[in-house]
Structure 1
Amino acid sequence: MLIQALTPSSKSPLLALAKRIADAGCNLSESRVSTIGTEISLMLLASGAWDALAKLETALTKLARDESLRLVHYRTGPRENSSHLLPYLVEVVAADRPGIVARIVEFFTQHEISVEQLNSTRYQAMQTGAEMFQAQFTIGVPAEIHIAALRDDFLELCDGLNLDAIMDPVKF
């Protein structure tokens, strides 16, 4: 079961959700927790027997009555085998401006490359005070794609957009 929760960061539901998952007899298989702005976002994957998942659904429905918590949950299936995808890490740094993420994601989509994870932020450069943008993408590159050609095309795109970027295999 996939559970997504959004709430003000001062009221993190992580403990309450973890307890309800355990109390229902389910296992917390995966989790992602991020503070974005003044909000906290949780994405949790719970697994268990059908009756344990039903018990968890009931507990989550009760928890969702809290007005400060936005909670969505639904049953999902196992992830497809993606052993034909090679994991690569892409890092981009640039002067901040609109459309950087959209253009990079468009490039990957055109090449049928999946974006597995994305983290991005804006910050002020310590030395100059310039507004900067930084992003890390974990992508899944189909094994049949020629990596050197892909890297050349990607870096050419980044040069055209005045982005500093690297694309390296994930080493763990």
Structure 2
Amino acid sequence: MATDPTAGLALVSTFCPDRVGLVSGITSHLFEQGINLRDATFASLGSGAEFSAVCELPSGLTVAELQASLSSLPILSGAEVKVTPFAFDPQPGPQAMVTHRVEVSGGDQPGLVARLSEIFTQFDANIVRLDAQTLPDRAGERYVLRFSVSIPAERAEVCLSAVANTAETLGLNCQTDTL
């Protein structure tokens, strides 16, 4: 009899004001509950912060109990806390294997994320992670986009050239790394 790979899995999501100790407070609590972390992300978003993780719950711990215990943490005071069953296979597929990292930086331009992500789509590349930030710079502000992507080997060179050409046309810098 096959077992359900999603049994005992939950998605933990929090959003709250960014503060020192947030990741430590959340992950320590999860560890104390006997939870094993699988894929997890953390990001500062403006003055807020978002933490998400696929968690393996120990038998006997319910989604509702975990949500209640996280919501009671002082570090998560004022946070949006959501814990739901995780219904997807926790094993990443081949499209989740990062083959390249791409960084595009320069002045912020409306539609830039949409434009670059469309290029990846045209070459059957999957965006595994995306990070976009506005950073202070000597000249004012600098917008930085970082893509971790899975690009089919036979399409990688032309895909990366298209991204670099688009960035150059827009007056932006582009750096790529092959993993």
Q: Report the TM-score, using the length of structure 1 for normalisation.
A: 0.78
Shift, 1:19, TM fit: 4.2
SS of 2:78's partner is coil
**Counterpart amino acid of residue 113 in structure 1:** A
CA-to-partner distance for each residue in 1:79-129, whole Å, 9 max, x for gaps?
333179551010111222222112111211232211111122113431xx2
Shift of 1:156: 2.1
| Equivalent AA in structure 1 for residue 45 of structure 2 | I
Cα distance, 1:67 vs structure 2: 7.0
Work out whether residues 98 and 148 of structure 2, in 8 Å CA contact, stay in contact via their aligned partners in 1: no
- Which residue pairs with 1:165 in the alignment? 174
Aligned pair count reads 165
The equivalent position to 1:31 in structure 2, one of 40, 57, 61, is 40
Q: Corresponding residue for 2:145? A: 135
Q: How many Å apart are 1:13 and its aligned residue?
A: 5.0
Aligned residue among 134, 140, 151 for 1:122:
134
Q: Are residue 17 (structure 1) and residue 19 (structure 2) matched?
A: no
- Equivalent residue of 2:38, what SS? strand
Cα distance in 1 for residues equivalent to 2:24 and 2:163 = 41
Q: TM-score when scaled to structure 2?
A: 0.75
SS in 2 for 1:146: helix
Contact 2:96 2:126 in 1 (8 A): no
Seq. identity, %:
18
- Structure 1 runs (4+) deviating above 6 angstroms are none
SS in 2 for 1:104: helix
Pick which of 160-169 and 42-51 moved more: 42-51
Cα 1:48–1:67 shift into 2, 3 Å: closer
Taking the aligned partners of 1:131 and 1:13, their CA distance within structure 2 comes to 27
- Aligned partner letter, 1:78: P
Q: Choose from 56, 65, 85 the match for 1:58.
A: 65
Deviations 1:18-41 (A, max 9, x none): 344234322123432222221121
Match of 2:17 among 8, 32, 35: 8
* Conserved 8 A contact 2:119-2:162: no
Distance, in Å, in 2 between the alignment partners of 1:48 and 1:59 is: 9
> Structure 2: which 5+ residue stretches go unaligned?
1-9
Residue in 2 that maps onto 1:90: 102
SS of equivalent to 1:22: helix
Q: CA RMSD in A?
A: 2.7
